[in-house]
Structure 1
Amino acid sequence: MLSAFLIFGYAAVFMVPVLSCQPKEYKTNGEQCCPMCNKGTVVQRDCTAYAGTRCRSCEMGTFMNQPNGLYNCFPCTACDTGHGLFVKQNCTATTDTVCDVLNGYYCKGLTDSNGCSLAEKHSQCEAGQRIKEPGTSRSDTVCEDCQPGFFSKDGVNCTGWKTCSESQIKVEEGSSTSDVVCGSASRHRYVFISSVVLFLIIVICLVTTGFVKARHCQINSSRMVEMKYGQKTSRWQKSLSTDTEGERGRREEEAEGSVLPEGEGEGECEGEGEGVCLTIIDTTQGDITVSFEELLMSSVLGCDIMLSALLIFGYAAVFMVPVLSCQSKEYKTNDGRCCPMCNKGRVVQRDCTAFPGTQCRPCEMGTFMNQPNSLYNCFPCTACDTGHGLFVKQNCTATTDTVCDVLNGYYCKGLTDSNRCSLAEKHSQCEAGQRIKEPGTSRSDTVCEDCQPGFFSKDGVNCTGWKTCSESQIKVEEGSSTSDVVCGSASRHRNFFILSVVLFLIIVICLVTTGFVKARKPDKSRK
């Protein structure tokens, strides 16, 4: 009977219905507690009284990341590149796919594994704005309008308006999208002065020409001009228009050797012809014979020649006068000449001369020039070192430098003047017992923080609060910063205690009863 009671007692302990299963067990539909399957497997068949739980492995494209009592694995997450996601970590039998955002995108939906499920492209700041806070993998770009006196063409940085020097004047005002345009004050000043001088020269020539023509008309009306040298004069009249050959011969004979009385011959020429006559003076040095027509034509022609020469000189003074500074799209050579700059993607091969302009040559492979310039060599393209966490985001061209960006898991430690990365370093990994306070970005390292009391972290990602054991459970193991509280079934322990007490009492009763029976049984040996 004692053996029967012992078997009954232990059977009662392990076959009594329980209120809840152990942490590593699951309850079947038949209210039976079976051992869970490990990570990467799921239940193929529940346990029986004689055999444990039979598990099967997860198929390709599925996973199971926890001990379980499930019958199917979870499907792996797909990272949609069309929505700015890429596969950071492939799906395995025990872990889901980890998606992260492509460069130029930020995450709008986080998963439990700190991966991303939805991303959106960074906003682009407009001209007249600057990037106040650059977009990260977890936040969008924050834009800000340029302050007065600053401008931005590409929506990246605001640059202050240039200040024109003392040798320049402001040609065009600046705005939020364009800079102030300065021009050479010296050139404008020379143009103004030369224009005024040229205007005065033209006026003087016109007045002189008009005066000569007016005198021409006066002489035609007076019929004769007389030029007198000293006291001894002689007169030689020459018809300039209508006198015939015979009349001119007769006039010459009459005039030869004659002396003009005082007061005679002033104001008119002899004869009734319509021609213009000029009195030539017979001096002791010899006769000078010049027609008035020749004299008049020489004066007018000389004035025209002088006017043309002054016009040429005026324009030459405008365009060939030495200037103190060159225009904004020009550069000054070693000998002080102003030459046109070469365009982007080209550099100077030969400076300009009086006739041909600047001769430029294109940048060779591996070099670039990103601005109008007066240089003789292109800039070398930047190399993106993958060994230091960089990759080529945009290849180098003749007009733009290589654009480097940081690989996933790295952050930039060295920025260039154009806000590009030249040096990167790997993100720090938080330890067990810590959490990620601020995730690392392409511009900053990960910031870690210790878990508060009552929380734990196994993987250094998130801090999770310790579990609270229910009324049907008891605390089997205390929690720490790296592990959770372990709870056990209070009902099983309570039933085991009660049944143990009952079994103890039964055993005691059996022993007492057995002893009493033996005591009451007569001793046959005494008989």
Structure 2
Amino acid sequence: MRRNKRDNQCGAHKFLGSKMECCDVCPKGKYMESECQGSAKTKCRTCEHEHFMDKANFLSACLPCTVCQEDQNLVTDTECKADQNRRCKCKEGFYCTDIECHHCRPATLCGPGSGVKEKPTAISDTQCERCPPGTFSDVTDFLTPCLNHTNCLGKELEKAGTPEANAQCKDTTSCKCILSISLGVGFAVILIVILATIFFFYWRTRRHSKMTVKLLQVKPEPLPLAHPDTELQYPTLCHDEKYSQNHCSSAVPIGHCMEMSDIECDCVAMSTLGLTQDLDKSVVGGGATGNHDSSSRYQSEPQENEWSET
């Protein structure tokens, strides 16, 4: 490898060659294979695999890429390229102690009651803090911050939270809700039964009152009573063959027949009461005319000599 040769006379991006000529330098990612000579310019070549050159140069070879040692808790951050060296970093849980990150140190762990305020970076350690009221951390790591306690909204708080533990809740709301619904339904059913019973008795009482009023408003009419002293003494009068239909019709007033107490003739039924009234009228009238009418309307009972003829 040749040393850099520069002369203020050559200017930027040039170097003074062995022949005392100003030659062009090679760009990054390449190295110088040969100097310029006369009209021939500097000859450059690209860096080989696992080699790099990250600056303009007139070196005769590229630099080897860095290897990330796993036993040093290093992992590859960026791969090696012709114009860039491989960059390493510490694996998770470790941080670098120098800018070049040649060595790694384990990150600090935050225990229960303390949360991670700042996570570890490639070049810095973890920053922990004590969990403030209403928060907790029940793990030991370098990632988890303090978390809020569980809000037992709609549930029953069984155990209050601490900086080291979360709050514990009882899931009893569903049971209370079912009990409340059951009580409400039962109360509604009982209320409906009571109202139905009251309505039934009210309807029954009102119906009985209406029936009583109707019965009290009925005015029974007096039944016609027969007079025993004026009852017809010869009920077979009309059935005698000697009396014609016309005679019976003239003797019995029309429209005075009754079901049980009436006297039924072959022509028209005559009520006892009507016959009695006619007899009373004939007696009260007296005189020849009255006697004549009575004898013509009411015939006497046949005599024994007349019975023999039959």
TM-score scaled by structure 2?
Answer: 0.41
Higher relative contact order (CA 8 A, sep 6+): 1
- Structure with higher Rg: it is 2
Q: Under a length normalisation based on structure 1, what TM-score does the superposition of the two structures give?
A: 0.26
More strand by share: 1
Task: Write 1 or 2 for the structure with the bigger share of helix.
Answer: 2
